[in-house]
Amino acid sequence: MNHYGIDPQGIGRALVRNFRAGSVVQGGSTITQQLIKLQYLESDRTLKRKIQEVVIAFWLEWKLGKQEILTRYLNAAYLGSGATGMPAAARIYFNKEIGDLNVSESALLAGLLKAPSQLNPIDNFEGARQRTATVLAAMVDNGKLTPDEAAAAKAEFGKLRPTTPTPRSGSWFADWISPQASEIAGASPGSTTVRTTLVPRLQRLAERVVTKALDEDGKALGASQAALVAMTPQGAVVAMVGGRDYKTSQFNRAVTAMRQPGSTFKLFVYYAALKKGLTLSDRVLDAPIEIDGWSPENSGGSYRGWVTLAEAFARSLNAATVALAQEVGLDNVVAAAKELGIDTAMAPTPSLALGTSEVNLLDLTSAYASVRLGKAPVEPWGILDFQAAGQSQAFRVGEKTSPSIDLSPYQSDLLGLLQLVVERGTGRDADPGTFAAGKTGTSQNNRDAWFVGFTEPLVVGVWVGNDDDTPMKGVTGGSLPARIWRDFIRAAMAEPAPGLDLDKGLATGGREPAPSCNITACSRSYRSFRASDCTYQPFRGERRLCER
C-alpha cells in the first residue's frame, strides 16, 4: 500500500480489532514507524511520542525513500538468538553471507520478523517451518514465486540445519559501541563495515579471569558480580567485561553501574595537592579529625601521626587524606577530578576525599589512563575505523577528542605514588612481577571493591561487588580485585597482543593509516554531511572533506 510513513487504514483496522478483542491483538505501524521505534525514539506510549513519530515518519519518507527505509529496518530488527539485522541472522542461523541465501533461507528470515524469540529455528524448528510456508504462500499470491518454485523451496526447508550460535565474545563491548556504530551506519547509504578496538584474545582472557575468580572465591566472600575494563593509554578499549555472565544479565556494570569508588578517588586529592605546590615529601597529620560532626577512620582504627604524602597515599590513610583535602580545598579536588575526566556530579563535602561520589568503572579507568599517558582527559573509544560499501577509502574514528591538558609537570610524582601502592602499600597483591602502578579502593561496609592501575601498554580497572548493594565479607580493593587485575595482566603480558601498539593506540593491521573523520562533529555541523566519504556540500563548488 502506498503511504507517506503512516497508514491511516491500517491504524483504523487495528483499533477496531483491538476494541473487539478487548486487548492489543494487532498493530497498525508501518515499517517506517517500526524503524523509528528501533532507532529514533523510546518505546513509551505517550501522546508526545506519537506526535514525534508521525513527524519523523514524514521526514524519513521524504529524506530516505522506501527502499532505504526498508534496508535500515532489516539491518536493525531483532531476529532471535542474539541476531540483530538480517546479515547477523544469516551468519548465526546458516553461517552464510546475506547474499548467499537461497529462497527457503530468505523466507525463513523474513518470517522471523513477526516473533523472533518464538519462531527462530533453533528454539522452535517446527514453528519456523510453518512460518516459512506462510511466507512462501504469500510470495506466490503476490506473484513473486510460482507454485512450483514455492513447493521446491518448502522441500528445501527440510534440508536446513541451523546451528546454535557460539557465545559472543565481547557482548558488553558490542552493546557499548552500538549507538556510535548506528550513528555511523545511519549517516551513509548501503552497508558499512566498522572495525573496533576490541582484541579478541584479551577479551577471552578477561572473561576467563573474572569467571574463575568468582567461581573460586565469590560465594565464600559474598561477591556475586565483577567488571573489568582494559584500554590503551590513549583510551582504545581492548577488553570489557560487564558482569559474571552476559547470557544471564546484559546489564553492563563496567559502563552503566554507578558506584562509590572508595580510595581510588584519592588520586584526585593528591593530584590537586601537587598542583597547589606540595611535594611527596611534605607531611600531613594522620590523626583523628572531626568536620561538622563527621569523623573518618582509618582501616584498622590506628593512626600514624605526621607522615609524608607518599606514605599516606601508599597506605591509603583516610584521616590524612581528608586533612589534605581540607588544606588543598574541596573545590580544587573536584576541579582536579574533572581535569582527569570524571564528569559526574561531585558534591564538595568532606567525605568526597574518600570516594563517596559515584562513578562508573569505564570513566575511572580512563582517568588513570590520563596519568599513564601524561595528558588529560583521555576519553574511552571503541571504533577504530569504518568503510562504506562501494567506497575504496576507509576513515579512522579513534579518539573522541584529543587530550588538551599537559600532566607532565606532575606525571612523575603521580606515577611514583601509584607504584608505591603496588610495591609496598595496599595493592601488593596486584604485583604482576613487572612494572605496575595502581590504587585500591573500598567503599563503606565493603559494598564495592576496586583496583585500577596500569602497566606499560595497558590500563585496567576492576570492580567487585553485588547488584543489590549487599556488603561483601571483608573484600577490599587490595584482595579479590587486585588478584583479578594481577592475573589478567600476567596472562595479557605473556605474549604480545595482536594489533596492540603503545604509541599509536592500535596498529593498523598492515594498512596505511586512514584519514580521520569525526562523525559526530561533522554530522552536527553540516546537514549535507555524508559519512560514506566524510564530505559535505558547501554553498558553492564541489563537496569537501569534513576536517573537524
In contact, 448 and 260? CB cutoff 8 Å: yes
Q: What are phi and psi of 259, to 5 degrees?
A: -135, 160
In this prediction, residue 23 has a pLDDT band, given cuts at 50, 70 and 90, of very low
**C-alpha grid cell, residue 430:** 596486584
Residue 68 pLDDT greater than 80, yes or no? no
Interhelix angle 330-339/318-328, nearest 10 degrees: 100
In this prediction, residue 369 has a pLDDT band, given cuts at 50, 70 and 90, of very high
Question: What rounded mean pLDDT belongs to the chain?
Answer: 84
Alpha helix segments (H runs only) across 305-400 = 309-314, 318-328, 330-339, 361-373
Range ranked top by mean pLDDT from 67-71, 160-164, 177-181, 226-230 = 226-230
Please tell me the distance from the alpha carbon of residue 131 to that of residue 112, in angstroms, as a whole number. 8
**56-60, 328-332, 433-437: segment of lowest average pLDDT:** 56-60
- E runs forming strands in 125-210: 192-196
Share of the chain above pLDDT 90, in %: 51
Residue 225 pLDDT greater than 80, yes or no? yes
Compute CA distances 445 → 136, 206, 261, 465, 483, whole Å.
Answer: 62, 27, 13, 11, 20
Residue 38 pLDDT greater than 80, yes or no? no
Please tell me the distance from the alpha carbon of residue 439 to that of residue 426, in angstroms, as a whole number. 8
The predicted pLDDT at position 24 comes to 37
pLDDT tens per residue, range 84-140: 788 878 887 887 888 888 998 899 888 888 888 778 887 788 888 889 899 999 999
Select from 408, 374, 344 the least CA-distant residue to 234: 374
Residue 469 pLDDT greater than 90, yes or no? yes
In contact, 405 and 335? CB cutoff 8 Å: no
The predicted pLDDT at position 234 comes to 93
Select from 187, 165, 13 the least CA-distant residue to 80: 165
- Helix then strand then coil, % of the chain, to nearest 5: 45, 15, 40
Enumerate domains of the chain plus CATH numbers. Answer: 8-157 (1.10.3810.10), 259-380+402-493 (3.40.710.10)
Select from 291, 292, 346 the least CA-distant residue to 322: 291
Secondary structure class of 202 (helix, strand, coil): helix
**80-89, 407-416, 446-455: segment of lowest average pLDDT:** 80-89
The predicted pLDDT at position 16 comes to 46
The predicted pLDDT at position 27 comes to 43
pTM exceeding 0.75: no
Residue 354 pLDDT greater than 80, yes or no? yes
The predicted pLDDT at position 14 comes to 41
Please tell me the distance from the alpha carbon of residue 484 to that of residue 227, in angstroms, as a whole number. 10
Residue 441 pLDDT greater than 90, yes or no? yes
In this prediction, residue 156 has a pLDDT band, given cuts at 50, 70 and 90, of confident
Residue 462 or residue 63, greater confidence:
462
Residue 516 or residue 187, greater confidence:
516
The predicted pLDDT at position 6 comes to 52
What is the arithmetic mean of pLDDT over 251-270?
96
What is the arithmetic mean of pLDDT over 442-463?
97
